[in-house]
Structure 1
Amino acid sequence: MGYPVTRGDKIQVASFGARGRFFSVQSTTPGGVVVITQHTAIRINPPDIVPERSAFRVSYEDVGGLEKELLRVREMIELPMKYPDLFAQLGIEAPKGVLLHGPPGTGKTLIARAVASEIAAHFIHINGPEIIHKYYGESEAKLREKFEEATRNAPSIIFIDEIDAIAPRRAEVVGDVEKRVVAQLLALMDGLVTRGQVVVIGATNIPEILDPALRRPGRFDREVIIGVPNRIARQAILQIHTKYMPLAPSVDLERLANITHGYVGADMEALCKEAGMVALRRILPRIQADEAYRPFETKLDIQVTMEDFLEAFKEIEPTATREFLAERPTTRFEHVGGLREVKQTLRSIIELPMTHAGLFDQIGMEPPRGILFSGPSGTGKSLLAKALAGEYQLTFISVDGPALFSKWLGES
């Protein structure tokens, strides 16, 4: 009695002196945190009944490679909603907002949905450009309507995607609409009376153009950078997206993580989907020729192979390098004559960190971060760099030094 619970919690229930059994809370009415009393009605599902999985429900297990970032967001959102009494005892106010920023496709929206789903909060998704309206006062009215909906359905999370579209620097904006929307957003965040029960999450790719008034403590209390995943994070993301795929024994996720430099979470998902399509194209002629085939009835031995992933790898361009002239060279060391000692040195610099990353951590060393080629013109420096990328299937970005300079301040 008097025990607070919410969806996802596990509670122990004892009956007639028997040893207590653990039950998982699937849902509560009303939603959010509730307290069990003598008047609480409890429905227990038999063990053989599994709740239907919603296609739209996202859990923390669906977020790969972002453990530290997810933990920081959970501290700001989940704790105040689950344990408001602790904040009252500490004499501190719960945060009003969290700003997520980073390249597209890195998982900003996924994190927001996962947190809302895990704590059973009402989720309101706002696309920044959709708020802007041509009629006077309509944009502010839409924004007020969303905040009123969140207050009525607390606990709530308001997720504003592309917040830079509705909250740019007022000093640099020509039109009045954006200035009014920024002022309205500031007023709404300052006026949140259900502090801790309504949280605003903003997401942007370009945080530097946001109005400074939004980024001060008391509005967006914490900023979390969602960056491009490293090799370990890419492997974790691959494991999530291939969880329900029939993989052949030849599939090496570690190798795929090594060669997908510059890939973000959305790219990894696209890679897995494309690999599935490659496998489908491979077996489709056999299915079309089989007159006895019946959808959902005929069982087929379908497996996605490593070759399917490598074929898909050729089609998926990494988001992080899309704005540059990036390529995957076919040149190898065998196309470079001589320079045997140089090639061996390059192999040790590149191959060891890729194949024995844990070894560097154990001995407390960091792998080399750069290589400088020097020598007269025409000796093969550019060819060697391209061959190095081709040898280890790395993304190759060629930058012409003088082309970086610009007459405009800060553009270089």
Structure 2
Amino acid sequence: KAVATETNAHFKSINGPEIISKYYGESEKQLREIFDDASDNAPAIVFIDEIDSICPKREDVSGEVERRVVAQMLTLMDGMQGRDNVVVIGATNRRDALDPALRRPGRFDREIEIGVPDRDGRSEIMDVHTRQMPMSEDFDITWILDNTYGFVGADLAALVREAAMKALRRYLPEIDLEEDTIPPEVLEKMEVCMEDFHQAIKDIEPSALREIYVEVPEVTWDEIGGLEDVKSRLKESVEWPLTKPELFDHFGIKPPRGIVMFGAPGTGKTLLAKAIANEAQANFISIKGPEMISKWVGESERAVREIFKKAKQSSPSIIFLDEFESIANMRSSNSSEGSDVSNRVVNQLLASMDGVESIDGVIVVAATNRPEMIDPALLRSGRFERVLHVPPPDVGAREAIFNIHCKGMPLSKFSLKDVLKGLDGFTGADIEAVCREAALICMRANKKKVTKSHFEEAIGRVRPTVTPEMLEYYQKMETRLTSGMSNIKRTKDFSHGIETM
């Protein structure tokens, strides 16, 4: 519409689904009439919205109407050379669903991707929509820009409209609805404040983030006891590239695209990923590996592509792939159905990881407790090039974790060191379970404070996750992964401790 206005061109708009008719030849007739009208009123622009609905891939449709409409569209586009000063613009959010014949030179030969607006773009859009709106002095555009990742223009317009409605509801008690006009003194003081935006943003779901759950976690480093070395390396590998990209440009180096964390179950891999997303103020897209596996051909690969697409639209973002071994296991030469799916998913992951370089503000973090199963091609430089072992907590870390989970719990006076002695082999999740169980034991006994004996009883009821064999296994894996990623093999050593999980 803006192009037509700027060029003083005749504008003809078509909504794709409205063209389709059940009567034979009616759809094609409507298309011909629209193009004839544009030609008679040249210069003209024909705009076809949702063009994928009238020009889908012919091999994917069973109805004759769709095939005839596509054929008619191809004929009309081929006849454009005889229609001077007529331009056809199509719009779709499903480009790959279009019939390939439409996308060749001479037809729709120029494709423009309209992405999700960045911070500057959102600022300009907000300026447009708030230009005529009375704002309070506390209006903070910075807060809005910080909290609207993934919002497109329509989402921002909806946000402003909803904020205005929230403001109007605040002033309703002062307005007499039976009167024809609002008193001038009420009109003069009506304004939209930041609290209206705070409430409105809860009701707006950004278009770019639909279908895949995206969050900014509230987990902080203070909620994770110990693991100082892992935290430090995560900051360097994940937080710095997202918050200080200029440092990497200054030194002429590229930040890592992916990080793999491995360790026993319950050691805090997911918490670490959430905490680093929170610290970097990045959107967090969490996917469990098995959720991506589909029995339908091509669906698993499409799921991988969609995740990376959503991450790009909501950047800065962190893609967290939990149970990574289920989608990234070693490719097999066997032709079984399961191995075929696995091979295709790994190939799509490789292609997606190789494309992350062109996506600013997206980092992939994976977690696994079976590192020996991961395809070595994924662990080479330029893909998941950082491998971090998340070990079970040591004595100091166990004390920190204990204090975190007992915060706010009424405790009697006792020596914490005596309790910690019984926590060898306990992960962070195990210690959380001990604290919860001790509190429940205290409640059952109708006591007011949790005592040392309650904790000792709880420790006896909670089975530690990490056995000596598992600890040895992960230490061997750490040595092998850091010394040479290409030497990963499934050997008896590797599987010995893992069978006890």
TM-score by length of 1: 0.63
For the Cα contact (< 8 Å) 1:131–1:139, is it kept in 2? yes
Partner of 1:92: none
For the Cα contact (< 8 Å) 1:151–1:194, is it kept in 2? no
Partner of 1:403: 291
Larger Rg: 2
Partner of 1:312: 200
Counterparts in 2 of 1:158 and 1:300: CA distance versus 1, 3 Å: same
Separation in 2, partners of 1:233, 1:264? 9
From 361, 381, 385, the equivalent of 2:269 is 381
Kindly tell me the number of residue pairs found equivalent between the two proteins: 300
Separation in 1, partners of 2:124, 2:60? 41
Shift of 1:343: 5.4
Shift of 1:149: 1.2
Counterparts in 2 of 1:356 and 1:172: CA distance versus 1, 3 Å: closer
Task: Give structure 1 stretches of 5+ with no counterpart.
Answer: 1-112
From 128, 140, 147, the equivalent of 1:252 is 140
Separation in 2, partners of 1:135, 1:289? 50
For the Cα contact (< 8 Å) 2:175–2:182, is it kept in 1? no
For the Cα contact (< 8 Å) 1:259–1:394, is it kept in 2? no
Task: Tell me the SS of whatever aligns to 1:263.
Answer: coil
Quick check: which one's helix share is greater? Answer: 2
Partner of 1:239: 127
Partner of 2:160: 272
For the Cα contact (< 8 Å) 1:237–1:265, is it kept in 2? yes
Shift of 1:181: 0.8
Counterparts in 2 of 1:205 and 1:362: CA distance versus 1, 3 Å: same
Task: Give structure 2 stretches of 5+ with no counterpart.
Answer: 301-501
Shift of 1:193: 5.0
Separation in 2, partners of 1:355, 1:238? 24
For the Cα contact (< 8 Å) 1:263–1:318, is it kept in 2? yes
Deviations 1:214-267 (A, max 9, x none): 111111121111122223322232222222222334333234223322222221
For the Cα contact (< 8 Å) 2:4–2:10, is it kept in 1? yes
Separation in 1, partners of 2:275, 2:35? 56
Separation in 1, partners of 2:254, 2:242? 12
For the Cα contact (< 8 Å) 2:158–2:204, is it kept in 1? yes
Amino acid in the other structure paired with 2:125: I
Separation in 1, partners of 2:265, 2:87? 59
Amino acid in the other structure paired with 1:123: F
Counterparts in 2 of 1:283 and 1:385: CA distance versus 1, 3 Å: farther
Shift of 1:310: 2.5
Q: 390-399 or 143-152, which moves further after superposition? A: 390-399
Task: Tell me the SS of whatever aligns to 2:189.
Answer: coil
Shift of 1:359: 7.2
1:212 aligns with 2:100: yes
Identity rate of aligned residues, in percent?
A: 55
Separation in 2, partners of 1:367, 1:399? 23
Shift of 1:386: 2.9
Partner of 2:460: none
Deviations 1:61-118 (A, max 9, x none): xxxxxxxxxxxxxxxxxxxxxxxxxxxxxxxxxxxxxxxxxxxxxxxxxxxx111111
For the Cα contact (< 8 Å) 1:258–1:354, is it kept in 2? no
Amino acid in the other structure paired with 1:212: P
From 184, 187, 208, the equivalent of 2:75 is 187
RMSD: 3.3
Shift of 1:126: 0.6
